[in-house]
Structure 1
Amino acid sequence: MSIEIPVVTEKKRWLILSHAFNMDGRAASLTITDKIPYFLEAGVEPIVFSAITGIKDQRFPHHQFIAWAPAGFRFDFRHWVANKYGRGWFYKLTTRTVSILLAPFIAIEKFCLGYSSQWSWALPAFFHGYRLIRAGKVDVVLSVGSAWSAHLAGVWLKKATGIELISEVHDPLVIRRNPNDQGFEKPLNRDARFRHYLENQLTCFSDKVWWFTDGALHYAKVRNPNLNTPTNARGFVVTPGAHPPGGLSANQAHKYTDQLNLSHFGSLANDRSLSTVLKALVPLFEKYPQARNLIRVHAYGAPLDSLSAEAIEQLGFSDVLLAHGRLEVDPTTGKSGRQRVAKKMQEADVLILLHGNDEWCAEYIPSKFYDYLWTGRPIWGITHRNPQLDQMLLERGAYLSAEGDSEGISIALERIWLDWQSKCLIEPIWNPIGVDQAVKTILTNVQARQKSL
Structure 2
Amino acid sequence: MKISKKVLIISYYWPPAGGPGVQRWLKFAKYLPDFGWEPIIYTPENPSYPIVDETLLKEVPENIKIVRTKIWEPYQLAEKFSKGNKKYKAGQFDVGKNQSFMSKLSIFVRGNFFIPDARKFWVKPSISFLKNYLKENNIDVIVTTGPPHSLHLIGLGLKKEIPNLKWIADFRDPWTEISYYKHLKLTKSSDQKHRNLEKLVFKTADLTLATSYTDAENFRKMGANSVCITNGFDTSSFVEADRYKSTKKKFSLSYVGVLEQLRNPENLWKAINELLTEHQDFEKDFEMKFVGRLDDKILENLKASKVGKHLQILGYLAHGESYQEMKNSDLLLITNFPNDSSKGIIPGKLFEYLSTGKPILSFGPREADVSKILEETKAGKHFDYSEIESLKSYILKIYQLWKSGNSNSENANIDAFSRRNLTKNLAEKLNILVTE
Distance 1:341 1:406, change over 3 A: same
Distance 1:277 1:109, change over 3 A: closer
Q: CA deviation at 1:177?
A: 6.9
Distance 1:63 1:434, change over 3 A: same
Q: CA deviation at 1:377?
A: 1.7
1:175 has 2:177 as partner: yes
Contact 1:125 1:150 in 2 (8 A): no
1:269 has 2:260 as partner: yes
Match of 2:279 among 284, 288, 307: 288
Contact 2:141 2:168 in 1 (8 A): yes
* Letter aligned with residue 62 of structure 1: I
TM-score, structure 2 length as denominator?
A: 0.79
Contact 1:17 1:125 in 2 (8 A): no
Matched with 2:420 is: 436
Match of 1:356 among 325, 331, 337: 337
Q: In the aligned structure 2, how far is the partner of 1:355 from the partner of 1:111?
A: 26
Distance 1:177 1:108, change over 3 A: closer
Q: In the aligned structure 2, how far is the partner of 1:110 from the partner of 1:271?
A: 17
Contact 1:401 1:412 in 2 (8 A): no
Q: CA deviation at 1:117?
A: 2.1
* Letter aligned with residue 140 of structure 2: D
Distance 1:308 1:385, change over 3 A: farther
Distance 1:245 1:342, change over 3 A: farther
Q: In the aligned structure 2, how far is the partner of 1:237 from the partner of 1:189?
A: 31
Q: In the aligned structure 2, how far is the partner of 1:383 from the partner of 1:138?
A: 41
Match of 1:67 among 61, 68, 71: 71
Match of 2:316 among 303, 326, 346: 326
SS in 2 for 1:116: coil
Q: CA deviation at 1:392?
A: 1.8
Matched with 2:269 is: 278
Number of residue pairs the alignment of both structures matches: 393
Q: In the aligned structure 1, how far is the partner of 2:258 from the partner of 2:70?
A: 25
Matched with 1:90 is: none
Q: In the aligned structure 1, how far is the partner of 2:346 from the partner of 2:109?
A: 36
Matched with 1:414 is: 396
* Letter aligned with residue 239 of structure 1: T
Q: In the aligned structure 2, how far is the partner of 1:254 from the partner of 1:42?
A: 35
SS in 2 for 1:266: strand
Distance 1:7 1:273, change over 3 A: farther
SS in 1 for 2:67: strand
Q: CA deviation at 1:362?
A: 0.9
SS in 2 for 1:21: coil
Matched with 2:95 is: none
Distance 1:415 1:189, change over 3 A: farther
SS in 2 for 1:173: coil
Contact 1:118 1:149 in 2 (8 A): yes
Q: CA deviation at 1:424?
A: 2.8
In the TM superposition, what are the counterparts of 1:354-433 in structure 2 within 5 Å?
A: 354-404=335-385, 405-429=387-411, 431-432=414-415, 433=417
Matched with 2:89 is: none
Distance 1:368 1:176, change over 3 A: closer
Distance 1:199 1:424, change over 3 A: same
Extract structure 1 runs of 4+ deviating beyond 6 A: 72-75, 106-111, 249-256
Contact 1:176 1:360 in 2 (8 A): yes
Q: CA deviation at 1:367?
A: 0.4
Distance 1:414 1:110, change over 3 A: closer
Unaligned ranges ≥5, structure 2:
80-85, 87-106
In the TM superposition, what are the counterparts of 1:117-136 in structure 2 within 5 Å?
A: 117-135=118-136
Q: CA deviation at 1:391?
A: 2.5
Distance 1:108 1:303, change over 3 A: closer
Report the more deviating stretch, 46-55 or 160-169. Answer: 46-55
Q: CA deviation at 1:114?
A: 5.7
Q: CA deviation at 1:346?
A: 0.8
Distance 1:111 1:144, change over 3 A: closer
Q: CA deviation at 1:372?
A: 0.9
Contact 1:248 1:342 in 2 (8 A): no
* Letter aligned with residue 296 of structure 1: E
Matched with 1:317 is: 307
Q: CA deviation at 1:161?
A: 1.6
Matched with 2:42 is: 49
In the TM superposition, what are the counterparts of 1:31-50 in structure 2 within 5 Å?
A: 31-50=24-43
Distance 1:447 1:72, change over 3 A: farther
Distance 1:72 1:146, change over 3 A: farther
Q: CA deviation at 1:278?
A: 2.0
Distance 1:391 1:286, change over 3 A: same
Contact 1:383 1:400 in 2 (8 A): no
SS in 2 for 1:33: helix
Q: In the aligned structure 1, how far is the partner of 2:198 from the partner of 2:108?
A: 27
Distance 1:415 1:145, change over 3 A: same
RMSD over equivalenced CA pairs, Å: 3.4
Q: In the aligned structure 1, how far is the partner of 2:252 from the partner of 2:400?
A: 13
Q: In the aligned structure 2, how far is the partner of 1:413 from the partner of 1:237?
A: 32
Q: In the aligned structure 1, how far is the partner of 2:178 from the partner of 2:108?
A: 28
Q: In the aligned structure 1, how far is the partner of 2:186 from the partner of 2:314?
A: 37
Distance 1:402 1:305, change over 3 A: farther
Q: CA deviation at 1:31?
A: 0.6
Contact 1:300 1:326 in 2 (8 A): yes
Q: In the aligned structure 2, how far is the partner of 1:192 from the partner of 1:252?
A: 51
Unaligned ranges ≥5, structure 1:
1-5, 76-81, 83-105, 228-233, 328-336
Q: CA deviation at 1:408?
A: 2.2
Match of 2:14 among 21, 26, 50: 21
TM-score, structure 1 length as denominator?
A: 0.77
Q: In the aligned structure 1, how far is the partner of 2:390 from the partner of 2:367?
A: 17
1:99-136 C-alpha deviation (Å, 9 max, x unpaired): xxxxxxx9988774465322222233222212212435
Match of 2:249 among 250, 253, 258: 258
* Letter aligned with residue 442 of structure 1: L
Matched with 1:197 is: 196
1:287-321 C-alpha deviation (Å, 9 max, x unpaired): 212322320110111133523432332x1433212
Match of 1:166 among 165, 168, 189: 168
Matched with 1:213 is: 212
1:448 has 2:429 as partner: no
Distance 1:423 1:383, change over 3 A: farther
Contact 2:178 2:341 in 1 (8 A): yes
Q: In the aligned structure 2, how far is the partner of 1:344 from the partner of 1:22?
A: 21
